[in-house]
Amino acid sequence: MAITVRDALNIGGLVEATVIAGNAGLDNVIRAVDIIDVPDAAIWFRRDSLLSTTFYALKDSIDAQLQMLEDIKACGGAALIIFSPERYISHIDERLIQKADELSLPLLQMPDCSYIDVIVPVMSNILDKQVQALEYAQEVHAMMTNIVLKGKGLQELLTSLTTLLQYPVFMADANLMLLDAAIPPDFSKTLPPLLQKRQGSGKNLPLDSFYPEGLLTELLRNKKPSYYQHGSGEEDYLDFFFPVVAGETFYGVLIVPNLDGEFERSETVAMEAGAMAIALDVLKEKAIKETERKSELDFYNELLLGNIKNRENIISRARQFGLDATGSYFVILVELNKESIYYGRDMESGDVPGIEELEKRLYRLLHYLLEKEHTEGVVVEALGSLVMLIRIPDKINPDSFRDYGKNFLNKTKETIRSRMNGVPIYIAAGDYCPDIERISAGYIEAWETIDIGKKLYTTDFALAHSDMAPYHLVKRFLTTANTPKLYEQIYDPLIRYDREKGGELVQTLEAYVECNFSRTKTSEKLHIHRNSLNYRLQKIEKLLGQDVDKIDTFPLLLASISRRLST
């Protein structure tokens, strides 16, 4: 613990001191007391030190005296006491007074007395406070540890902290997802903005929906306590972040919102004790959850792959993991587009978070979406993807099941696009599953849709299985013995010409068909002159022996799709 300069003026010999300048710094903290009576004293200056001098060594140089004030301020000194000025320097120069006011550095004048009359009482007071702080820290640590040892959980720890601090306290997990909060009894202040947002968004509120991404990234990187000031004008807020860390492992963060000012040491001691106890509690819960998570993961892997054959077993285990076995579901797969140029270009430069961090953020966001939309369902990491099992509300008419699934698919896409800063994502939904036993079929449909989407599209996408039915049909058709060569058979004359002459006839015909036989649009798409396009089309007609404007497009489109799906 420490005292301020203002406090020190009521201790020992300092009651006789006169503050002659630097009143703005009277709340500076004092942690030590030093004597300086040599010319090069600056090399020994310490932060938060109350410095005493007679200026005897500098009595003939006002410039050196002014420089000493600058040096004290630069090192974070608390104040300067000038002893017996009339004996050693005759008077205190007005320029010293002006400089002290300019620096907001308290300048005190003491009558003719001994240094001991100041040093001993002030240091004794500081040491007494440090002993009190140590005793307080031991009491708080014992109280917090006792809560954990008695088997109490996070809510009890947070409640104890709010009692000590008299402020609300929030806890977010290692994924920066808000876990819980506690408010002091008889809390009469306006609810902090974070608490208001949590009440409107449900329990699973990601912190990046309230705090800037840069602030949270810095918190994860440094794992150190920090303050964050936000708002403006009359609504100005100061929030305190205290990471919950054990060793180098980050387990979450405690947040105390809407402070009146920065915490005193006793309050940060309480935060330290709370964080340590919560780390112990998290480790205990983590061991339990790891076992539960393995069992849960095994269940969902077996459910999605259709390896649970007994319906009663499915229903029993589904109930164990909070999945309603009586409803109809959509299976939605969500994957990061790891092959995108986005990663190759930006991730190496360090401009964006790594893939692991993005996957965690995506997982949090999908949970948040379920809360926000008040939708029953689960999000699990299974079989290499994030899998959402979305329960269709009972009030939905079966004729509208597919529309409900497409709407939720689009909400997922829009939420991710708005919150993930352009990170490309693959999203696909299987057809609706009228029964829990069909979830494995829905998963296969979603997986096949993502696979087709990766081959047809170069950017991120959100696709429903029902909308991609023709492509699924073509893909199944391609599994027959002769169809892999369909493309070469249909385009054979053009392929051979392009290989021999270095031409682009295949690309030209595909573009011409895609542009619905518009020569203007085709030339624009290929970035070639209209005359060049006409020449190529004439060549295509000669090689195929058909009028390109009357050509049957079905085999051409089928061949083009087969090429893209089989690559």
Residue ranges covered by each domain of the chain? 3-124, 151-286, 306-464, 483-566
185: left (phi over 0), alpha (psi -120 to 50) or beta: beta
Q: Residue 72: enclosing H or E segment and its boundaries?
A: helix 62-75
Pairing of strands 329-336, 385-391: antiparallel
- At 482, is the pLDDT very low, low, confident or very high (cuts 50, 70, 90)? low
**pLDDT above 80: residue 468:** yes
**Dist CA 306 CA 469 (whole Å):** 22
Tell me if 430 sits within 8 A of 449, measured CB to CB.
yes
Provide mean pLDDT across the span 133-144.
Answer: 68
**Dist CA 288 CA 294 (whole Å):** 10
Tell me if 330 sits within 8 A of 429, measured CB to CB.
yes
Provide mean pLDDT across the span 137-144.
Answer: 69
Q: Which residue has the tokens 């105390």?
A: 256
Check the CA dihedral 159-164-168-172 and report its sign: negative
Q: Which CATH class is domain 3-124?
A: alpha beta
State the architecture of 483-566 in CATH terms: Orthogonal Bundle (1.10)
> If you average pLDDT over each of 19-33, 195-209, 269-283, 351-365, which comes out highest?
19-33
Q: What is the CATH number of domain 151-286?
A: 3.30.450.40
pLDDT given for residue 137 in this prediction = 64
Instruction: Say which CATH topology domain 306-464 has.
Output: Alpha-Beta Plaits (3.30.70)
**Dist CA 27 CA 29 (whole Å):** 6
Tokens encoding 265? 């040491």
Tell me if 11 sits within 8 A of 108, measured CB to CB.
no
Tokens encoding 22? 């630097």
pLDDT digits (tens, 9 = 90+) for 249-274: 888 898 988 888 888 777 888 888 88
pLDDT digits (tens, 9 = 90+) for 86-103: 777 778 889 999 999 999
- At 104, is the pLDDT very low, low, confident or very high (cuts 50, 70, 90)? very high
Provide mean pLDDT across the span 400-426.
Answer: 87
**pLDDT above 80: residue 38:** no
pLDDT given for residue 340 in this prediction = 64
Provide mean pLDDT across the span 536-545.
Answer: 86
**pLDDT above 70: residue 481:** no
pLDDT given for residue 500 in this prediction = 87
pLDDT digits (tens, 9 = 90+) for 44-65: 788 888 988 888 888 888 898 8
- At 338, is the pLDDT very low, low, confident or very high (cuts 50, 70, 90)? confident
pLDDT given for residue 348 in this prediction = 47
pLDDT given for residue 233 in this prediction = 62
pLDDT given for residue 503 in this prediction = 85
How far from each other are the two terminal CA atoms of the chain, in whole angstroms? Answer: 70
Whether 3-124 shares its CATH topology with 306-464 is answered no
- At 349, is the pLDDT very low, low, confident or very high (cuts 50, 70, 90)? very low
Tell me if 305 sits within 8 A of 384, measured CB to CB.
no
**pLDDT above 50: residue 341:** no
DSSP 430-462: ---BSSGGGHHHHHHHHHHHHHHHHHH-SS-EE
Q: Which residue has the tokens 């997982």?
A: 363
pLDDT given for residue 108 in this prediction = 92
Residue 211 has what DSSP assignment?
Answer: S
**Dist CA 487 CA 314 (whole Å):** 45
Tell me if 325 sits within 8 A of 403, measured CB to CB.
no
Tokens encoding 429? 């939904």
pLDDT given for residue 101 in this prediction = 93
**pLDDT above 70: residue 139:** no
Provide mean pLDDT across the span 107-115.
Answer: 85
Determine which of 179-188, 447-456, 482-491, 507-516 has the lowest per-residue pLDDT on average. Answer: 482-491
Q: Which of residues 287 and 348 earns the better pLDDT score?
A: 287
pLDDT given for residue 26 in this prediction = 93
Q: Which residue has the tokens 């007391």?
A: 33
pLDDT given for residue 79 in this prediction = 92
Provide mean pLDDT across the span 512-538.
Answer: 88
3-class SS of residue 377 = strand
Mean pLDDT of the chain: 82
Tokens encoding 381? 């990491």
Tell me if 240 sits within 8 A of 255, measured CB to CB.
yes
* Closest alpha carbon to 272 in 289, 288, 286, 256: 256
pLDDT given for residue 347 in this prediction = 46
**Dist CA 547 CA 154 (whole Å):** 76
Determine which of 158-167, 210-219, 442-451 has the lowest per-residue pLDDT on average. Answer: 158-167
**pLDDT above 60: residue 283:** yes
Tell me if 104 sits within 8 A of 22, measured CB to CB.
yes
pLDDT digits (tens, 9 = 90+) for 352-382: 567 777 888 888 888 888 888 888 888 888 8
Beta bridge pairs of residue 34: 51
pLDDT given for residue 201 in this prediction = 57
- pTM of this prediction? 0.49
Pairing of strands 385-391, 18-21: unpaired
Percent of the chain with pLDDT over 70: 89
pLDDT given for residue 567 in this prediction = 62
pLDDT digits (tens, 9 = 90+) for 152-203: 777 888 888 888 888 888 888 888 888 888 888 877 777 777 777 766 555 5
pLDDT given for residue 198 in this prediction = 67
Q: Is 43 exposed, middle or buried (0-12, 13-18, 19+ CB in 10 A)?
A: exposed
